[in-house]
Amino acid sequence: MKVQVQPAAEDDAADACNVIRNSILECCDDDHRGDAKVLEAWLCNKTPDFVLGLIRAPNAFSVVATVDGKTVGFGAASATGEITLCYVAPSVRFRGVGKALLAAIEDHAARAGVEALRLESTRTARTFYLRNGFASEGPPVLSFGIEGQPMRKQLRSRG
Ligand SMILES: CC(C)(COP(=O)(O)OP(=O)(O)OC[C@H]1O[C@@H](n2cnc3c(N)ncnc32)[C@H](O)[C@@H]1OP(=O)(O)O)[C@@H](O)C(=O)NCCC(=O)NCCS
C-alpha cells in the first residue's frame, strides 16, 4: 500500500470529512461506547464546512493522506502546534497512515519553529501517540462528553 501525504486543498474537505466521521463511528468505540448522545455531540460539527475552515485557516497546517487517489486520512494543526484532528479511514487503520500524517505535521511544525506539539488524545489513540514520542501532560479533560488526555511532544528545530 503506497501512502501519499500532502498539504490539504479546499476540494479535499468533503472526502476528509467522511474519513473523520467514519473513523469516529467505527474506530472510537472505546470513547463513545455507542452512546447516541455522545456521538451526536462529537459528530455535530464534523461537516465539510468545518473541515474547509481548518484547511483555509491562516497559518494553520492541514494534511491529507491518499492511497491510489482515495482519501484515507486527514490531520490538522494550529500555528502554535496544537493538533486539532488526526483521523484515519477504518479500512486502512494500523498500516502506517496515521504515522505518516503525524510525521508531516511534525516536520512542518519543526520547520516553522514550533517548540512542541500538543493535543488532547482520545482513549482510542493514546497508545498511538505514546509510540510516536508523545507523553501525557496533566489530567484528562472532557470534550464532547468524552475524555481527552492532554499530550505533548518536544520538537527539535529543523529551520
Ligand atoms: C489513531 C490513528 C490516527 C492511528 O493511525 P493508524 O494509521 O491506525 O496508525 P499507524 O498504523 O500509523 O500506527 C503507528 C504506530 O502506532 C501503533 N498504534 C496505532 N494505533 C494503536 C492502538 N490503538 N493501539 C496500539 N498501538 C497502536 C502502531 O502499532 C504503530 O506502532 P509502530 O510504529 O511502533 O509499529 C487511527 O487509528 C485513527 O484514526 N483512530 C481513530 C480516530 C482517533 O482516535 N484519532 C485521534 C484523535 S486525537
pLDDT digits (tens, 9 = 90+) for 48-107: 999 999 999 998 999 999 999 999 999 999 999 999 999 999 999 999 999 999 999 999
Q: What share of the chain in percent tops pLDDT 70?
A: 98
Q: Kindly state if the Cβ of 21 falls inside 6 Å of ligand 1.
A: no
Q: How far is the CA of 96 from the centre of ligand 1 (A)?
A: 8
Burial of 65 (C-beta count, 10 Å sphere; 0-12/13-18/19+): buried
| Whether 119 contacts 133, CB under 8 Å | no
Q: Kindly state if the Cβ of 95 falls inside 6 Å of ligand 1.
A: yes
Confidence check: pLDDT of 158 > 80: no
pLDDT for 144: 78
pLDDT for 159: 61
pLDDT for 145: 85
Q: Kindly state if the Cβ of 88 falls inside 6 Å of ligand 1.
A: yes
Pick the CATH number of 3-114 from 3.40.50.300, 3.40.630.30, 3.40.50.20, 2.160.10.10: 3.40.630.30
Residue 140 main-chain phi, psi, to 5 deg: -60, 155
Comparing 4-8, 135-139, 141-145, which segment has the lowest mean pLDDT? 141-145
By alpha-carbon position, which residue is closest to atom 27 of ligand 1?
128
| Confidence at 45, pLDDT banded by 50, 70, 90 | very high
pLDDT for 152: 98
CA proximity to 23, closest of 125, 128, 132: 125
By alpha-carbon position, which residue is closest to atom 1 of ligand 1?
125
**Residues whose CB falls within 8 Å of the CB of residue 108, separated by 6 or more in sequence, listed in order:** 61, 63, 77
pLDDT for 59: 84
What is the mean predicted confidence (pLDDT) over 39-47?
96
Ligand 1 pocket, mutate which of 33, 118, 128 (most atoms under 8 A from CB): 128
Q: What share of the chain in percent tops pLDDT 90?
A: 94
